[in-house]
Amino acid sequence: MAAAMINERDLDFMLYELFKSEQLLKRARYQDHDRMTFNEVISTAKVIAEKHFLPIRQKLDTDQPTFDGEKVHLIPELKPAIDAVNGSGIGAATADYELGGMQLPPIIASAAGTYLSIAGGVGMGYNMLTTANANLLEAHGTKELIDKWVKPMREGRFMGTMAMTEPGSGSGLGDLNTKAIKQADGTYRISGNKIFISGGDHDLSDNIVHLVLARLQGAPKGVKGISLFVVPKFLVNDDGSIGADNEVALAGLFHKMGGRAQTSTALSFGEKEGSIGYLVGAENQGLKYMFHMMNEARIMVGTSGAVLALAGYHYSLDYAKNRPQGRLPSCKDPLSPMVNIIEHADVRRMLLAQKAYAEGAMALVFYGTQLSDDEKTAPTAEQREYAHTLLDFLTPIIKTWPSEYGPKANSYAIQVMGGHGYINEHPVEMFYRDNRLNPIHEGTTGIQSLDLMTRKVPMNNMKGYLATLSEMEKTIELANQMANLQGFATELTTAVNTLKRTTKAVLTLMSTTNIDLALANSVKYLEMFGHIIIAWLWLKQAMAATEGLARQPHTDDVNFYKGKLQALQYFYRSELPKIALWEQTLTSADSTSYDMQVDWF
Amino acid sequence: MAAAMINERDLDFMLYELFKSEQLLKRARYQDHDRMTFNEVISTAKVIAEKHFLPIRQKLDTDQPTFDGEKVHLIPELKPAIDAVNGSGIGAATADYELGGMQLPPIIASAAGTYLSIAGGVGMGYNMLTTANANLLEAHGTKELIDKWVKPMREGRFMGTMAMTEPGSGSGLGDLNTKAIKQADGTYRISGNKIFISGGDHDLSDNIVHLVLARLQGAPKGVKGISLFVVPKFLVNDDGSIGADNEVALAGLFHKMGGRAQTSTALSFGEKEGSIGYLVGAENQGLKYMFHMMNEARIMVGTSGAVLALAGYHYSLDYAKNRPQGRLPSCKDPLSPMVNIIEHADVRRMLLAQKAYAEGAMALVFYGTQLSDDEKTAPTAEQREYAHTLLDFLTPIIKTWPSEYGPKANSYAIQVMGGHGYINEHPVEMFYRDNRLNPIHEGTTGIQSLDLMTRKVPMNNMKGYLATLSEMEKTIELANQMANLQGFATELTTAVNTLKRTTKAVLTLMSTTNIDLALANSVKYLEMFGHIIIAWLWLKQAMAATEGLARQPHTDDVNFYKGKLQALQYFYRSELPKIALWEQTLTSADSTSYDMQVDWF
């Protein structure tokens, strides 16, 4: 495992040159930190990743969790690895000091997490879900709930889940059937079945805190009658000790194509008297709270898509630099030495595509992560509101683009390595399998595209949409002042104009045509928007690289910056032009799929 | 497993309406057959598939072959399943009567094989490699070799492999190092290491017949010094009984992402005195013979890509027809019943994409299979020569397009099924993993694209290229006479003109520019050509469907034909326009990948 997991120079570039994270130090919340403490946290994460996770990465994949009818067993090496993360404080890096956190900016925690995700893969998923669960309860729960459940989660003694999906309804949350009945003591009795609950059972913590969506007796049908409950695996006594079993039974383990170290479970709640549940917030408001967690989870899914893409890129790059095979077409001498495969133009094409996808996606998820910080800690209320507007608008794209293009990058990693990429001696086939979940969970690509077109674009007089356009236009103006980037700035202007035309056309269709037809190609709208956002972020990266080159740095940095400019060119020449096809599909309201009849298949 | 594996009506359409296989009955070789015997063979294959393979399909994937240091173990159910295939005669369906075959047309055998491949997955790979090995020996071996090795392979007692790849050279066959030393008795002693040998060891047959590429002492370097040898696992005595061990040792099993029931092995030949090998044909001509087998294997790989795409399509289609979830955007009543997910336009889009890819790819591989028959059995020498010209030219496309687009179809099958597509309760995640090998083995996509551009296009004064164009132009002329297809015929004409312009441009570049640069985007040329070929075959399918509709058939057939026309429309609207982007990349000689420096990554 000699290959570098990622390029540290690039992480540095993202944090300090692209997103200028040092400026965060001016904010009161971060006043105890400096660039050195930022980097120390990242280094610590890297050390833990290399020491605890990398050696067990393959085993986490091959030795799937097992259920012996009583308990779920994970490989014994995972618990100490997770403990090492929690012991280092990184598990709660962004939390308040008084909750045991380090008050680090989310973007720094995300950078540290990159190492852990690549090395620990899905083993880290338990921590991430626990953090998201704790964050939701902190935002919407009573002090009593926070004291009882969040504290032990922050300490790593308990872990958390989100339990939404049911066998009969899947993405259609409004149809869920899990029941809640209010008791005289203010608690509720919960009963019903959930599936695909990540981390729904395991032997990694003393207790598991499920956040369960359920419907109260007499509540309205549909999404307006859903409430949210804390339903622990074990009740907890007033002194904090573990109490009685709460009737949360494991009904089965799913065997997934990837992400195998994270249990995916079918859970049965309250088959006898009902599991005891504690209401979070107000009755019938559950979906709103869950979206708090879900929006965070969506950024995490996008991050997973991007990080796995990056992992495959660096692994296959290292392989290509060191694997001799064949000769260039121009070489006619079969006696000449073989070249390393990176010398073959087609291998370079597949590496460059991975770089363009992976680093473009990383820039997007870091941007989203920074917005999630800005909406809370930016200096002025106006700035916080603006960040919120942008993040809320961009969430479907942040979730989807890296999820869809990450697996494409991983497929190239396999192809670069040929037969060696297809066997488990190397991790790229695992990255490919792991990443395929990302377009599915936390809202499929189709669901995200409907969210974008029907809610996010028109919402608040198109405020989020217009803010996003204005951010892109600012960049174009600045890039136009750099001689080497003017051509690209012009291309992005053209692309933004395509986006404006297309958006206008689809909004008109939505208000004048059959809505089912108007939305039939929504995924193409999401893909087009995503491509333009990534093109914009590549232009921002190129601006930072151009500034870097102007500082006349040493050779390694010159090479690094030139690589950024070449990836920009790749994206603009090979990817961005695709938007013309999607414009055609969308503006013509192509009805091919819509018209297809069930009986014709 | 209630879902139909494939649509029988479509198989019927491909054989009898699209490729008019009944006309083959006029050929002397097939005079004993009629449409009924064709269909009986297909039905028999279906019965064996359902009875012997479908029940063990999942187990073949989950219970990987193991090596206990002495023997390789496969699940015990596989051998009787393979025996059932051999016992039915389907294993040697296309072989001559005197070699124990049924003298069936390859296209009929391929149709029968579709069921076996879907149900038995890779378990069938052992048979297919054995057939290809036997075919090669029949074409290039002496009578002695054929009597000794081919007969027991045709009877299913022995199985065969092709042993080419070595640890140090991969796709670069010219660099292989396995040695052959001639002995006084006319045999050779073989020593060296091979990797990724499919079926290289197992417990399914009495013996394994390896076809091994090796270099004679003093032979020229490079591809001109390679000879081909039969190297059996066990020697065979003159009475046909199994003799001594031949020093073919299993050095290890690879663990693949998919295709797990087919062992992938590292083999060590002749570590002590050298394995005994028997020369096939003449010395130093080995690669030529191997290409005989390889061309056949390439069609098999394309077929695998197409069949797996079809399998995922029908499985996810069946799921989508029966899984209720959500409501249409136009439905505002949360109390109304859920619809089956096939009612959602985006699900229909993903199903239609699969149909367009899978049935387009099936048409291509059936076309290639028919050409492989025509080059041997067409009535006139001229027709046989013409078929050979077309097949030789199209082989890189027949191998690659289904391999590249098959996995894309499988990804849609997963997405249609959401979380259920990601778990092994359903086979679509397995199809996705299995199919990912196809762009790699028997010559990667990159290798195929160089073969197309540097050999197949310019060869023999562009004879194959021009023949292919003329076939497309014939179809355009006929389609122009059908009112409903004129628009598509015009679009195909435009596409063919794009192909002509692009081909001219790349040939000019190849002769005037740095050849490494001129070939840097060769994969895009292959992809463009593939798309145009698939568009052409969709137009042919649409013509057959239009003829079918003109016969005023019953409702089921009307629906079937309308589905074909809708898939045509999908391909022409959503896929064919992509060629404009590839034209731009190719004709501008985009140097982005070529210019990218190793140090910039």
Task: Read off the amino acid at residue B232.
Answer: P
Query: In A, which residues are within 8 Å of B454 by CB distance?
Result: 329
Q: Which helix H or strand E contains B213, and what residues bound it?
A: strand B207-216
Q: Are A312 and A432 in contact (CB under 8 A)?
A: yes
pLDDT band at A3 (very low <50, low <70, confident <90, very high): low
Average pLDDT over residues B18-30: 97
Chain A residue closest to B224 (CA)?
A334
Give the distance from residue A46's alpha carbon to the nearest chain B alpha carbon, in angstroms.
Answer: 21
Query: If you measure CA to CA, which chain B residue comes closest to A583?
Result: B574
Tell me if B165 and A195 make a contact (CB, 8 A cut-off). Answer: no
- Are B262 and B202 in contact by the 8 Å Cβ rule? The answer is no
Kindly report the nearest CA distance between residue A441 and chain B, in angstroms: 7
- Per mean pLDDT, which range of A61-70, A314-323, B28-37 is the poorest? A61-70
CA angle B476, B478, B482 (to 5 degrees): 105
What is the maximal distance between C-alpha atoms in chain A? 88
Instruction: Give B436's contacts in chain A (Cβ within 8 Å).
Output: 411, 414, 422, 429, 432
**Residues B252, B258, B259, B262, Cα dihedral to 10°:** 20
Residues of chain A with Cβ-Cβ distance to B349 below 8 Å are: 520-521, 523, 593
Tokens, residue A195: 């599936």
Q: Nearest CA to CA, how far is A244 from chain B (Å)? A: 32
Mark B413-424 as b/e (b = at least 16 C-beta within 10 Å): bbbbbbbbbbbe
Q: For residue A346, give the nearest of B256, B330, B446 by CB distance.
A: B446
Strands B207-216 and B158-163: parallel
Domains of chain B: 8-137 (1.10.540.10), 159-285 (2.40.110.20), 286-443 (1.20.140.10), 456-594 (no CATH)
CA distance A406 to A428: 12
- Among B529, B508, B526, smallest CA distance to B517 is for B508
Mean pLDDT, rounded, of chain A: 95
Residues in B closer than 8 angstroms to A194, CB to CB, are none
Assigned token pair, A578: 């695709």
The string over A200-211, giving b where at least 16 C-beta atoms fall within 10 Å of a residue's C-beta and e elsewhere, is bbbebbebbbbb
Nearest to A414 among B343, B436, B514 (CB): B436
DSSP code, position A164: -
Select from A257, A453, A568 the residue whose CB has the most chain B CBs within 10 Å, as the one to mutate to test that interface.
A257
Alpha-carbon gap, residue B213 to B217, rounded angstroms: 13
% of residues, chain A, pLDDT over 70? 99
Which tokens hold the place of A483? Answer: 């001689």
The nearest alpha carbon in chain B to A442 belongs to: B419
Confidence at A464, pLDDT banded by 50, 70, 90 = very high
Q: How far is A380 from chain B (nearest CA, A)?
A: 39
Q: Which residue of A has its CA nearest to B439?
A: A415
Rounded Cα gap, residues A601 and A128, in angstroms:
42
Please compute the mean of the pLDDT values over residues A224-245 and round it to a whole number. Answer: 95
For B174, phi and psi rounded to 5 degrees? -60, -20
pLDDT tens digits for A146-165? 999 998 998 889 999 999 99
**Contact across the interface for A601 and B351, Cβ inside 8 Å:** yes
Set of chain B residues whose Cβ sits within 8 Å of the Cβ of A61: none
| pLDDT tens readout for residues B255-265 | 999 999 999 99
Considering only CB atoms, A334 lies closest to which of B196, B222, B590, namely B222
* Mean pLDDT score of chain B: 95
Residue B2 has pLDDT above 60, yes or no: no
A217: tokens are 């007796």
Contact B231, B269 (CB under 8 A): yes
The alpha-carbon gap from B415 to the nearest alpha carbon of chain A, in Å, equals 7
Report whether B526 contacts B439 (CB < 8 A): no
CB under 8 Å to B127, separation ≥6 — which residues?
Answer: B82, B85, B86, B91, B159
* Neighbour-count burial of A136, counting CB atoms closer than 10 A to its CB (0-12 exposed, 13-18 middle, 19+ buried): buried
**Which of A194, A422, A438 to mutate to probe the B interface, most B CBs <10 Å?**
A422
B541 Cβ partners below 8 Å, 6+ apart? B13, B18, B359, B363, B564, B567, B568
Conformation bin of residue B198: beta by default, left when phi > 0, alpha when psi is -120 to 50: beta
CB-defined contacts A:B, below 8 A? 265
Q: In this complex, do A415 and B330 lie within 8 Å of one another by their Cβ atoms?
A: no
pLDDT classification of A70: cutoffs 50, 70, 90:
confident
Would you call B400 exposed, middle or buried from its count of C-beta atoms within 10 A (0-12, 13-18, 19+)?
A: buried
- For the residues A386-411, what does the mean pLDDT come to? 98
Q: How confident is the model at residue B121, as a pLDDT?
A: 67
Nearest CB neighbour to B422, from listed A436, A454, A596 = A436
A55 or A334: whose pLDDT is higher? A55
Tell me if B35 sits within 8 A of B79, measured CB to CB: no
Q: How confident is the model at residue A121 (pLDDT cuts 50, 70, 90)?
A: low
Summarised one tens digit per residue, pLDDT across range A497-553 is 999 999 999 999 999 999 999 999 999 999 999 999 999 999 999 999 999 999 999
The verdict on a CB contact (< 8 Å) between A523 and B349 is yes
Whether residue B559 and residue A590 make contact (CB cut-off 8 A), yes or no, is no
pLDDT computed for residue B408 by the predictor: 98
Contacts for A57 with CB less than 8 Å, ≥ 6 apart: A119, A120, A121, A427, A430
Residue of B326, B154, B110 lying closest to A446 (CA atoms): B326
User: Inter-chain contact B334–A169, Cβ cutoff 8 Å?
Assistant: no
d(CA B385, CA A60): 56
Active-site option among B404, B442, B527, B575? B442
- Distance CA(A431)–CA(A436), nearest Å, equals 9
In A, minimum Cα distance to B557 occurs at: A600
Classify burial at A516, counting beta carbons within 10 Å of its beta carbon; exposed 0-12, middle 13-18, buried 19 or more.
Answer: middle
The catalytic position among A429, A442, A527, A575 is A442
Q: Is B425 annotated in the active site? A: no
Token pair in block for residue B291 = 């290409």
pLDDT, tens digit, 9 for 90 and up, residues A430-456 = 999 999 999 999 999 999 999 999 999
pLDDT-based confidence at residue A562 (cuts at 50, 70, 90): very high
Residue of A nearest to B437 (CA): A422
Give chain A positions within 8 Å (CB) of B596: 348, 351-352, 563, 566, 570
Closest by Cα among A203, A113, A143, A394 to A132 = A113
Contact assignment for A592 to B600 by CB distance below 8 Å: no
- Cβ contact B600–A560 (<8 Å): yes
Contact B196 A419 (CB under 8 A): yes
CA of B601 vs chain A CAs: smallest distance (Å): 6
Contact predicate A162/A173, CB 8 Å? no
CB A489 within 8 A of CB A476: yes
d(CA B381, nearest CA chain A) in Å: 36
Dihedral, CA of residue A237, residue A242, residue A244 and residue A246, to nearest 10? 100
ipTM above 0.90, yes or no: yes
pLDDT of residue A1: 43
Do the chains contact at B599 and A424, CB–CB below 8 Å?
Answer: no
Judged by DSSP in three states, B586 sits in: helix
Chosen for mutation from A321, A349, A578 (greatest number of chain B CBs closer than 10 Å) is A349
Q: How confident is the model at residue A169 (pLDDT cuts 50, 70, 90)?
A: confident
CA distance B271 to B408: 43
- Average pLDDT of the residues in A71-93: 90
Cβ atoms of residues B64 and B121 within 8 Å: no
| pLDDT at residue B1, rounded to an integer | 43
Proportion of chain B above pLDDT 70, given as a percent = 99
Mean pLDDT of A264-289: 96
| pLDDT of B163 higher than 90 | yes
> Phi/psi of residue A169, each to 5°?
-130, -25
Write the secondary structure of A201-252 as one string of H (helix), E (strand) and C (coil): CCCCCCEEEEEEEEEECCCCCHHHHEEEEEEECEEECCCCCEEEECCEEEEE
Residue B398 has pLDDT above 90, yes or no: yes
Distance of CA A242 to the CA centre of its chain: 33
CB contact under 8 A, A574 and B559: no
Could you tell me how far CA B3 lies from the centroid of its own chain?
24
Q: How many angstroms away from the CA of A32 is the closest CA of chain B?
A: 36
Picking from B554, B596, B597, B599 by the largest number of A CB atoms within 10 A of its own CB, the best residue to mutate is: B596
Distance of CA B444 to the CA centre of its chain: 13
Identify the closest residue of chain A to B558 by CA–CA distance: A600
In a mutational test of the A interface, the residue from B257, B410, B576 whose CB has the highest number of chain A CBs within 10 Å is B257
Residue A197, strand partner residues: A265
pLDDT in tens, B95-137: 889 878 899 999 999 999 999 999 986 778 898 889 889 989 9
Tens-digit pLDDT profile for residues B465-523 = 999 999 999 999 999 999 999 999 999 999 999 999 999 999 999 999 999 999 999 99
Say yes or no for a CB contact (<8 Å) between A414 and B440: yes
Nearest to B439 by CA among B62, B195, B171: B171
What is the mean pLDDT of the segment spanning B592-598? Answer: 97
With b for 16 or more beta-carbon neighbours within 10 A and e for fewer, the A536-549 pattern comes to bbbbbbbbbbbebb
Nearest chain B residue to A256, by CA: B423
